[in-house]
């Protein structure tokens, strides 16, 4: 019999996790504190799985995948017999503390509890819990059924066995787990994304380029390469003799430039100007439609990458 996963919170990320696990053959129980959220998630799940089917990204029919996802009437019902619980509720330390205390009370001892939190280290919401050794952050990228990275960020007291079991489950679900060796706010991906945003905001604020051109630097420049290699492999290949050769040629320039990259203060007037430029290109009412377009482009890219050698 297939293992059961519980998804707690049926918003954007909870729904996407339900698809990841159901697509890989797991049974999924999904629960939300707001009954309306649980109801509207059915239609949204159908649309998303339908899109995946059109891009050849599910091996079975839409109905077979959706059939594995069952709404639960209570948190206790969702957690019953689950191998792993993926929490996706509001992003505040208080709410995470409350829901993890409740889940630790309700879940059987062998159940792993994970959080999708984007920024909060596991230790900030698990310290006093009796079952804290079975809890860790498993941070996805939106939407996880297209972007496979999942950041496993355990607390110092999370057991090694829990981490290994979680890694095995995410791998079998088709994800690409990475492990943080110690805790840090924002984990790896959001810290790197923050560094890029910081510099883009600095360059914009100081009048070096429009927001449109700064976006182009990524989408027509760095982003193309980044979809199949990271910064270290990039510098390894961008000098004839690898990393040390690259550092000898360009290291001093990067060091000098880094001295001119202060933390950006996210000033209200800078953000308002970027918002104005964005709204001129894309009306506020069209954001949802454009997000769907983005996901469809991502599906095309994922389908392409699956056909290529790694």
Ligand X SMILES: NC(=O)c1ccc[n+]([C@@H]2O[C@H](COP(=O)([O-])OP(=O)(O)OC[C@H]3O[C@@H](n4cnc5c(N)ncnc54)[C@H](O)[C@@H]3O)[C@@H](O)[C@H]2O)c1
Residues that bind ligand X (CB under 6 A): 8-14, 32-34, 37, 88-91, 95, 99, 116-118, 139-140, 142
Q: How far is the CB of 31 from ligand X (least distance, A)?
A: 7
3-state secondary structure 130-191: CCHHHEEEEEECCCCCCCCEEEEEECCCCCHHHHHHHHHHHHHCCCEEEECCCCCCCCCHHH
User: Which residue carries 């392409």 as its tokens?
Assistant: 304
Q: How far is the CB of 76 from ligand X (least distance, A)?
A: 13
Q: How far is the CB of 153 from ligand X (least distance, A)?
A: 12
CB-based closest residue to ligand X? 11
CB closer to ligand X out of 174 and 186: 186
Q: How far is the CB of 5 from ligand X (least distance, A)?
A: 16
Give kind and range of the element (H or E) at residue 79.
Answer: helix 75-79
CB closer to ligand X out of 35 and 110: 35
CB closer to ligand X out of 190 and 202: 190
CA atoms within a 13 Å half-sphere pointing along the CA-CB vector of 210? 8
CA atoms within a 13 Å half-sphere pointing along the CA-CB vector of 183? 16
**Rounded distance, CA 173 to CA 2, Å?**
12
Residues 61, 15: contact at Cβ < 8 Å?
A: no
User: Which residue carries 């309306």 as its tokens?
Assistant: 36
Q: How far is the CB of 307 from ligand X (least distance, A)?
A: 27
Cα torsion for 235, 240, 244, 248, to the nearest 10°? -100
Q: How far is the CB of 99 from ligand X (least distance, A)?
A: 5
**Rounded distance, CA 66 to CA 42, Å?**
9
**Rounded distance, CA 187 to CA 137, Å?**
9
CB closer to ligand X out of 54 and 90: 90
CB closer to ligand X out of 183 and 245: 183
């Amino acid at each position: 019999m297939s293992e059961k996963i519980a998804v707690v919170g049926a918003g954007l990320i909870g729904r996407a996790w339900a698809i990841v696990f159901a697509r890989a053959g797991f049974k999924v129980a999904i629960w939300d504190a707001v009954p309306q959220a649980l109801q509207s998630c059915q239609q949204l799940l159908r649309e998303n799985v339908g899109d995946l089917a059109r891009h050849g990204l599910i091996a079975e029919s839409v109905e077979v995948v959706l059939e594995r996802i069952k709404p639960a009437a209570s948190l206790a019902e969702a957690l019953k017999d689950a191998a792993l619980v993926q929490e996706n509720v509001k992003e505040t330390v208080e709410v995470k503390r409350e829901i993890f205390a409740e889940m630790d009370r309700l879940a059987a001892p062998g159940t792993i509890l994970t959080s999708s939190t984007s920024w909060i280290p596991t230790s900030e919401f698990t310290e006093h819990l009796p079952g804290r050794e079975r809890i860790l952050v498993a941070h996805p990228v939106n939407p996880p059924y297209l972007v496979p990275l999942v950041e496993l960020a355990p607390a110092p007291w999370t057991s090694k066995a829990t981490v290994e079991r979680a890694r095995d489950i995410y791998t079998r679900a088709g994800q690409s787990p990475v492990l943080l060796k110690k805790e840090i706010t924002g984990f790896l991906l959001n810290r790197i994304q923050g560094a890029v945003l910081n510099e883009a905001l600095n360059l914009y604020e100081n009048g070096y380029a429009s927001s449109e051109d700064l976006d182009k630097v990524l989408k027509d420049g760095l982003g193309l390469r980044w979809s199949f290699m990271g910064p270290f492999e990039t510098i390894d290949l961008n000098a004839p003799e690898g990393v040390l050769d690259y550092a000898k040629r360009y290291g001093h320039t990067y060091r000098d430039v880094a001295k001119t990259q202060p933390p950006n203060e996210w000033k209200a007037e800078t953000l308002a100007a970027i918002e104005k430029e964005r709204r001129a290109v894309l009306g506020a009412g069209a954001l949802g439609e454009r997000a769907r377009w983005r996901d469809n482009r991502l599906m095309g890219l994922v389908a392409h990458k699956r056909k290529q050698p790694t």
